[in-house]
Structure 1
Amino acid sequence: MNTSPVVPFLSLYYFQTGCHHVDMSSLVAYEDSESEDDCLDQPEEGTSASIQAGSCEQNRGVGLCSSSEIVLSPHSFTADPDSSVLDCHRTRSSSVLHPGSQPQSWFDRDGTARDAAAPLSLPATQGHVSPPQTLPNVPQCSGDGLNPAKRNHTVRPGVRPYVPKRQRLASSVGTVDLKYPAERVPGNGTGESQILSDVSATVKPYLAHKPGASGIPRRLLMSLAGHQGPVNAVRWCPVPHLSHLLLSASMDKTFKVWDGAESGRCLRVYTCHSGAVRDARWTSCGRQLLSGSFDNTAVITDVETGQQLVKLDNQFKVMRVVPHPSSPEVFLCGGHGSAVKAWDSRSCKVVKVYKAGIQQTLDILFLRGGVDFITSSDCVSRDSADRTLIAWDYQTTAKVSNQIYQERFTCPSLALHPLEESFVAQTNGDYMAVFSSQQPYRMNKRRRYEGHKVEGYAVQCEFSPDGTILASGSSTGSAHFYDYHNARIRHTLHAHSRPCLCVSQHPVLPATAATCDWAGEIKVWH
């Protein structure tokens, strides 16, 4: 092998041209680039290294580097980041060699001029001398010489600094699915709302005290406009410190969350459905929403991000979605079908089917403990209201009773008393009937709540938190408040000009209620 002095010079020539023509785009982060931590193996300190320039094509007509190697001996190399002479970021004007030109001088970091033809003079390793040897190649991931992770680069103007892939992936977690956009909160610089982090100043004074007797709302506090279709239901968040949040479900294919205690702003719009949203409810934790639509789906949505978590196809128009009181991951769906389905949101599968042989389920009500539940249907027989109200055993899917209500009226909604063992059914006979919530579920024929009109609308009814007041909407647009024990009307609010479909009483604030109507208007009363 020819060992003339020209060989080290040629190797040094290719090394210099390769280093000084390093593309500075390695400092720019691309979306598909890999992290330095993933592709760089750092050589241990004190070991020798061999740098192989393998077919690196230059852009300035220098030529190809064909497997030329620089051999460094251990006694002439120390991995010192402060004094390394293998730095590729030196003055370009003094380091570029062209074929056929004479070697030029180049400069170290301290400004010392060196001749290009002079051999490399590196600090010696203390106390150890060994023959020269060729070391494994160092992966050239960033193109800035040895040990690039230890160098501090000066970022030029207009060049975006490199961001490791792990950091980019970590920062992208929790973003909102753009397929289901959510309304941004005005005034928030980040564009993300903090719906669940704030406690309303109106609700906060009542959290430390035990709720007192419920009052009757008498004056209008605020009017919420924004829905383009009839609002089927309004519901306050059941979590006390989040009870200022008001949920509304509309026939305009959306459901919304409002600040119903102070500002009246719409905090977020959820567009997860392609059909009218017939029902929407809060989960027990207050962080998710359960909705059912005429597009045959039931959806679980994250309140904060508006992201769709679970979407289930029922193969019928969904009119009611009700979570199990003791197993929040299980919920029932009923609607324009002959059966009621129980879904498990963890496996996204139907776990139970309750076949009633009816055409439509109007409402579903779990009794205390979740052992039994009641369904209301539009099935009315000729002689009696057989199968109008059906009691089911949740575990066995067996019918407990189908002879609960004997009058020939359908029942569009049901409500369970919060303290006593009873429930009420809204009927199309323009009255509410009371039933025992224990077998055999007998109706109290001596107590009826009359004075409002239903006339075929899905008018809902609801108890106050202490169970003393029973509220109901009316097809006339009024909201009626009854004394539960004597069935007398305590107050009537002339709330809307169109049919009032729902009256929801606040779980914490006394004498506060929300109403909605067929025209898409929502009002909060105090």
Structure 2
Amino acid sequence: MTSLVAYDDSDSEIETDNFNSSSQEKTIRPLGQPLPSDIIATKSENDPGPGWDTLNAGSGVVPEPQAERSTQKSCPRPRCRWPVTELQVKPRTFPPSDFSTYSSSTSSGKREFAGVSVSKMRPLYDAFRVPNSSSCALMSLEATGQHGSLSQKRRQENLDFVEGGIKPYIPKRLRQTQTLTVGTNERGESELQRQRTDGPSLLEGSPMREGTATVVSNFIKPYLEAKYKSTEIPKRLIFQMSEHGGPVNSVQWCPVLQHSHMLLSASMDKTFKVWDALDTGRCLNTYSSHSSAVRAVQWSTCGRQILSGGFDSELHVTDVETGMQLFSCKNEFRISTVKFNPNEPHIFLCGGFSPEIKAWDTRSCKVIKVYKASVQQTLDILFLRDGNEFLSSTDSVSRDSADRTIIAWDFHSAAKVSNQIFHERFTCPSLALHPKESVFVAQTNGNYMALFSALRPYRINKKKRYEGHKVEGYAVACECSPDGAVLVTGSADGNVFFYNYHNSRIICTFSAHSHACVGATFHPVLPSVLATCDWSGKIKVWQ
């Protein structure tokens, strides 16, 4: 391939203004051959401008070697003689669009770049521009006029790129803004859709009366200012509620003392209910947000929300008065226990038919911690008093000792503090913390309750064992009275047992239900009120 360069023997710049003139070429030489001495043309003493070097860099023209000054008249500036549209010029070497840096005013008043009229180089510069969103808009505006056909063609090519899956470049800042806007809109729509579709329906009972959760029962008012008296054993039945259609797993009083007339119950009939258990004994609200049995429920510390988990592997935080779900998520396993962190009310733990215990944050709806153990099921969870450690009871039982039956965890690091706490071959379906002393009680399937220290190394108290009731495979709950003097537990035979905490003797027992009594809880304010539930779906309040 040869490169042709012609030198004009005239230094009149007016003749060079005519780009398409057909002036005669003096010499044509192949690339690489020696130059004849009679036609050697040297550069002028004034070096060419930067436009010359830039143009040759893209066209493949090799600069002439430095030679001795010839006696012949030389051209002050070399000129390109072939049509500009045939030049192979890289787009990156072109000057800016205004050509202000490399253009000069000639005697004819025209702006030139390397001897070529700027108006003639504009189509070539436009043809080599990289198409983007801004250039597409510019091309559409330039579709009319002298270069209308070329701009129209480039715009059509850009449209073909988009249809073929090649999209124009979008700045990073604009992409981030669009992503943030779309993500916010999608989250808002999904949240609204979830509230519409997953909102609990009031299938049973009457809806909660306005302000029911804020009223104070007349029975509670006299006891709010006074100090809690010693626990008394209830003697008579005051209310019996049997609106649940399946076994009741647990009952809990509202932890807010002013609103402790409300009683929460979870049932295998896929619902959990809130009752007015002191004034009327009627159901205030029924929540049917689960599609399977509700195994575990718990009040929030403020008494305005209820955390629930069931065999449908779903977790919900429900507003007590409105019934709206403030938090909802799908878990990977069936739930058997849920517990709020006492120091961080927006975090709760859930365990069930899995070797893992998960910590959820209701603000972000994400799992923040996972606690793994070599077990198959978690039966119960108990936070210790400072909230930095918690206990979990499992179904793991070995031949000689119940290794990993009760495990102590560090809440923040998810590390095991101890797994050698209980060394007997029985599982513990329920754990309860003593309100006054640093001890906790564990219900065992060996038909007795064991007492442990709540401080490391969590030793068992071998001198105290509360036995006499029957568990027989039921998840029978146990509890300490508010003053810590009495332990209460249900029994598989339907009885309720009261034990003296200090000497572990039976204080009293009475027949409460015809089926297995799986839950019994003292009222936090009234010293002689007790609520129980059984496997037939009945709830009873005693005084």
TM above 0.5, yes or no, is: yes
Map 1:196-211; keep pairs closer than 5 Å: 196-211=213-228
Alignment pair present for 1:309 and 2:347: no
Letter in 2 for 1:299: H
Which deviations, in whole Å up to 9, do the C-alpha atoms of 1:389-442 show, x marking residues without a partner?
000011110001101000000000000001100001000000000000000000
Distance 1:448 1:179 in 2: 46
Specify the code of the residue in structure 2 equivalent to 1:298.
Answer: L
CA deviations 1:5-41 (Å, max 9, x no partner) are xxxxxxxxxxxxxxxxxxxxxxxxxxxxxxxxxxxxx
Cα distance in 1, alignment partners of residues 541 and 484 from structure 2: 20
2:411 equivalent to 1:419:
no
1:230 equivalent in structure 2? 247
Partner residue of 2:387 out of 367, 370, 375: 370
2:468 match: 451
Match of 1:487 in 2: 504
Q: 2:420 matched to which residue of 1?
A: 403
Q: Give 1:262 shift.
A: 1.4
Is the Cα–Cα contact under 8 Å of residues 425 and 434 in structure 1 kept in the other structure?
yes
Q: CA separation in 1, counterparts of 2:516 and 2:504?
A: 22
Structure 2 segments unaligned to the other structure (5+ residues):
1-194
In the superposition, the TM-score normalised over structure 1's length comes to 0.65
**Residue 259 to residue 177, structure 1, CA distance change in 2 (3 Å):** farther
Runs of 4+ in structure 1 off by over 2 angstroms are 175-179, 182-186, 191-195
Q: For residues 237-248 of structure 1, what are the structure 2 equivalents within 5 Å?
A: 237-248=254-265
Name the larger-Rg structure.
Answer: 2
2:481 counterpart (444, 450, 464): 464
Q: Distance in 2 between matches of 1:233 and 1:192?
A: 24
1:257 aligns with 2:277: no
Q: Deviations over 1:50-97 (max 9, x none)?
A: xxxxxxxxxxxxxxxxxxxxxxxxxxxxxxxxxxxxxxxxxxxxxxxx
Q: Secondary structure at the match of 1:370?
A: coil
Separation (CA, whole Å) in 2 of partners of 1:310 and 1:340 = 18
Query: Once the 2 structures are TM-superposed, how far is the Cα of residue 197 of structure 1 from its aligned partner?
Result: 2.3
Q: Which amino acid aligns with 2:256?
A: V
Whether the aligned pair in 1 keeps the contact of 2:445 and 2:472 (CA below 8 Å) is yes
Alpha-carbon shift at residue 214 of structure 1 (Å): 1.2
Note the C-alpha offset of 1:179: 4.0
Higher RCO structure (Cα 8 Å, ≥6 apart)? 1
Structure-to-structure mapping, 1:20-59, within 5 angstroms = none
Q: CA deviation at 1:466?
A: 0.9
Contact 1:218-1:493 at 8 Å conserved across structures: no
- Alpha carbons 1:176, 1:305 under 8 Å: kept: no
Q: Distance in 2 between matches of 1:180 and 1:247?
A: 16
Say which SS state the counterpart of residue 223 (structure 1) adopts.
strand
| 8 Å Cα contact 2:209/2:284 also seen in 1 | no
State the Cα distance separating 1:309 from its structure 2 match: 1.1
- Describe the shift of the 1:414–1:185 C-alpha distance in structure 2 as closer, same or farther (beyond 3 A): closer
Equivalent position to 2:301, from 272, 275, 284 = 284
Q: Partner of 1:28 in structure 2?
A: none
Show the counterpart of 1:182.
Answer: 202
Could you tell me whether the CA contact under 8 Å between 1:384 and 1:408 is conserved in 2? yes
1:323, distance to aligned residue in structure 2 (A):
0.2
1:195 Cα offset (Å): 2.2
Equivalent residue of 2:386, what SS?
helix
Change in CA separation of 1:192 and 1:214 when aligned onto 2, cut-off 3 Å: closer
Does the CA contact (< 8 Å) of 1:183 and 1:267 recur in 2?
no
Specify which structure has the higher proportion of helix: 2
Following the alignment from structure 1 to structure 2, what is the Cα–Cα distance between the partners of residues 411 and 370? 21
Q: Paired residue for 1:275?
A: 292
Q: Give the match's secondary structure for 1:368.
A: coil
Pair 1:441-2:455 in alignment: no
The amino acid of 2:459's aligned partner reads R
Query: Contact 1:177/1:307 (CA < 8 Å) preserved in 2?
Result: no
Question: For the residues of structure 1 that align with 2:367 and 2:198, how far apart are their CA atoms?
Answer: 29
Q: What per-residue deviation string (whole Å, max 9, x for no partner) do you get for residues 296-323 of structure 1?
A: 0111000001111111222100000000
* Aligned equivalents of 2:280, 2:203: Cα separation in 1: 16
Residues 199 and 325 of structure 2 are in contact (CA less than 8 Å); yes or no, is this contact kept in structure 1? no
TM-score, normalising length from structure 2?
0.63
